[in-house]
Amino acid sequence: MTILAIDTSCDETAAAVIRNNRVISNVISSQVELHKKWGGVVPDIARRAHAERIDAVVNEALKRSRVKLDDIDYFAVTYGPGLAIALEIGVKKAKEMALKQNKPLVSVDHMEGHLLSSFAKNSLGRNPKGPTLTDLPAMGLLVSGGHTELVLMKDFGDYKIVGETLDDAAGEAFDKVAKMLNLGYPGGPIVTEFAEKGTPGSFDLPIPMENSGDLNFSFSGLKTACLYKIKDLKKSGKFKDQKLWIHNFCADFQNSVIKSLVIKLQQAIAEYKVKSVFLGGGVIANVPLRRAVRSAMKKSRVKVYQPYSPKLFGDNAAMIGVCAYYQIKRNDNMVLHDKNRIRELDRDPVLQIRTKD
Ligand code: KG4
Ligand code: ZN
C-alpha cells in the first residue's frame, strides 16, 4: 500500500510517501530560522508558515517519490498531540486531498509515530538493525521538545504510557537553559556541542527525580537550579568570561538530563521486563544520551533500537506514514493521547479508516 503522510504538529512542515513501512520520500521544511529570534516556537508564526509551505512540501514529497497522486492508496495525518493551530493546517490539507482523490484518511498520534519510527525501512526495504515482532514487549523512550515519555508497547496498538514529564520536556529544558546562557535556539544541538568540550562535576546540579520512586520525569527543578547558578556567576562577575566555565556548565547540565532519563529507563525495564528499548524524538540526536542508554541496557541484556536515519529522530512525516501502515494493517485507530478527540474524528466519515474489501 502506498501512503502519503503529513505532519504539521510543531515547527516542521513535513510530508512523506511510504510504501508499506518503506520510506520512499521524506521532506521536512524546518521553520527554525523564523522562530530563532523569539527563542522558541511562536504558534501564529508556525501556523502561517505551515499554510504557506504545505502545498510545496507535499508536491516535493510526491516528486521525489516518483509516485503519482492517483497511485496513493491512503492519506495519513498527525491529528495530535501538538500545537492545535498548526495541526489544523495539515489536517485540512490531508482531508482535502483524501476527499478529492476519494481515498481513506488515517489520523495518527504523533507520539505513536515517534514510538514506531525504529520500524521504518529505507526505500529498498532495508533496515537490518531494525526491530521485529520478537523484540516485543518493548519500552519506548520518547524525548522531544514537547514530550518526555516512557511507553510500554506490548504489540502494535497495545500501548501504555508508564512515565512522563510532570512539567518541561527534556528538549524544552535544553532550549530554556540555552536561552539563559544566550546560546540561541534550538538549544539541544548547541548545548551538546559545548558539553563535548567540557567536563562534568564542577556545578553540582541535581539529577531530577532521582529518588521519586515512580517513572515520571521533571526538569523544571534542574532549570531553576541552572538559573540560580547563572545568577551566582553574574554576581561574582564571572558570567562575562564564558570561556572559563560554559563548557563545563553545559556538560553538567547534559549529564543531569541524561542520568535522569537513564535511571527512569532502567527502573521501567526492570518493572515491565521488556526485551528491548525503542528510542524516538529530537533529543535522541544527542550522542552521549544514546551511548549512556546503550551502555545501561547492555548490562541488563535489553536491545536498543533507533531509527535508521537521523532524519527520523525529530519531527517528520515518514514516521506518521509508517504508523498509518501498521494501523491500516490491524484495522484500528488506537491512539496514545486524547481519546475524546479520536472519537470525534471517528465520527467524521472522512477520517475513518475504511479498509478496501
Ligand atoms: O522531536 P523534535 O524535533 O520536535 C518535537 O516534537 O518537539 O524535538 C526537538 C527538540 C528540541 O527541543 C531540540 O533542542 C532537541 O530536540 N534536540 C536536542 C538535540 N538535537 C535536538 N536535544 C539534545 N541534544 C541534541 N543533540
Ligand atoms: Zn515530535
Ranking 52-56, 103-107, 295-299, 333-337 by mean pLDDT, the lowest is 333-337
Atom of ligand 1 nearest to the CA of 171: 12
Whether 338 shows a pLDDT value over 90: the answer reads: no
Arithmetic mean of pLDDT, 303-331: 95
User: 286 alpha carbon to ligand 1 midpoint, in Å?
Assistant: 9
Whether 298 shows a pLDDT value over 90: the answer reads: yes
Q: Angle 322-25-335 (CA atoms, 0-180°, nearest 5)?
A: 20
Quick check: CB of 130 below 6 Å from ligand 1?
Answer: no
Quick check: CB of 145 below 6 Å from ligand 1?
Answer: yes
User: 233 alpha carbon to ligand 2 midpoint, in Å?
Assistant: 34
Arithmetic mean of pLDDT, 223-236: 94
Task: Find residue 159's DSSP bridge partners.
Answer: 153
- Which helix (H) or strand (E) segment holds residue 151: the answer is strand 148-155
Quick check: CB of 285 below 6 Å from ligand 1?
Answer: yes
Backbone phi, then psi, for 236, in 5-degree steps?
-80, 0
Give the number of whichever ligand sits closest to the CA of residue 171: 1
User: 310 alpha carbon to ligand 2 midpoint, in Å?
Assistant: 13
User: 115 alpha carbon to ligand 1 midpoint, in Å?
Assistant: 15
Give the number of whichever ligand sits closest to the CA of residue 285: 1
Quick check: CB of 168 below 6 Å from ligand 1?
Answer: no
Closest C-alpha residue for ligand 1 atom 14: 188
Whether 337 shows a pLDDT value over 50: the answer reads: no
Give the number of whichever ligand sits closest to the CA of residue 168: 1
User: 9 alpha carbon to ligand 1 midpoint, in Å?
Assistant: 14
**Whole-number Å distance between alpha carbons of 116 and 324:** 10
**Whole-number Å distance between alpha carbons of 130 and 121:** 8
Residue 344 has a pLDDT of 54
Q: Is 240 exposed, middle or buried (0-12, 13-18, 19+ CB in 10 A)?
A: exposed
Residue 175 in contact with residue 185, Cβ under 8 Å? yes
How does DSSP assign 75-141, residue by residue?
EEEEEESS-HHHHHHHHHHHHHHHHHHT--EEEEEHHHHHHHGGG-B-TTS--TTS--GGG-SEEEE
Beta carbons within 10 angstroms of residue 83's beta carbon:
21
Quick check: CB of 281 below 6 Å from ligand 1?
Answer: yes
Beta carbons within 10 angstroms of residue 133's beta carbon:
7
Quick check: CB of 144 below 6 Å from ligand 1?
Answer: yes
Atom of ligand 1 nearest to the CA of 172: 12
**Whole-number Å distance between alpha carbons of 25 and 58:** 10
Quick check: CB of 171 below 6 Å from ligand 1?
Answer: yes
Question: Nearest Cα to 289, choosing from 115, 116, 148, 81?
Answer: 148
Whether 259 shows a pLDDT value over 90: the answer reads: yes
Looking from the CA of 144 toward its CB, the CA atoms found within 13 Å total: 25
Arithmetic mean of pLDDT, 189-212: 95
User: 11 alpha carbon to ligand 2 midpoint, in Å?
Assistant: 10
Beta carbons within 10 angstroms of residue 337's beta carbon:
17
Q: Higher confidence at residue 248 or residue 239?
A: 248
Quick check: CB of 187 below 6 Å from ligand 1?
Answer: yes
Residue-wise pLDDT for 57-79, tens only, equals 999 999 999 999 999 999 999 98
**Cis omega (within 30 of 0) for bond into 349:** no
Arithmetic mean of pLDDT, 281-296: 97
Whether 347 shows a pLDDT value over 80: the answer reads: no
Q: Higher confidence at residue 109 or residue 254?
A: 254
User: 182 alpha carbon to ligand 1 midpoint, in Å?
Assistant: 17
Residue 353 has a pLDDT of 36
Q: How confident is the model at residue 13 (pLDDT cuts 50, 70, 90)?
A: very high
Ranking 42-46, 247-251, 290-294 by mean pLDDT, the lowest is 42-46
**Whole-number Å distance between alpha carbons of 60 and 310:** 20
**Cis omega (within 30 of 0) for bond into 81:** yes
Atom of ligand 1 nearest to the CA of 175: 14
Which position has the grid cell 521524506? 26
Whether 324 shows a pLDDT value over 80: the answer reads: yes
123: which 3 cell numbers?
Answer: 526505500
Quick check: CB of 11 below 6 Å from ligand 1?
Answer: no
Give the number of whichever ligand sits closest to the CA of residue 110: 2
Residue 223 has a pLDDT of 96
Query: All domains of the chain, ordered by start, with CATH?
Result: 2-130+310-354 (3.30.420.40), 135-305 (3.30.420.40)
Residue-wise pLDDT for 160-191, tens only, equals 999 999 999 999 999 999 999 999 989 999 99
What share of the chain has pLDDT > 90, as a percent?
78
Residue 284 in contact with residue 174, Cβ under 8 Å? no
Residue-wise pLDDT for 14-52, tens only, equals 999 999 999 999 999 999 999 988 888 889 999 999 999
User: 324 alpha carbon to ligand 1 midpoint, in Å?
Assistant: 23
Task: Find residue 153's DSSP bridge partners.
Answer: 138, 159
79: which 3 cell numbers?
Answer: 491529528
Residue type, 264: K
pTM value? 0.92
Beta carbons within 10 angstroms of residue 241's beta carbon:
10
Whether 328 shows a pLDDT value over 90: the answer reads: no
**Whole-number Å distance between alpha carbons of 338 and 219:** 23
Averaged pLDDT of the chain: 91
Whether 348 shows a pLDDT value over 60: the answer reads: no
Whether 334 shows a pLDDT value over 50: the answer reads: no
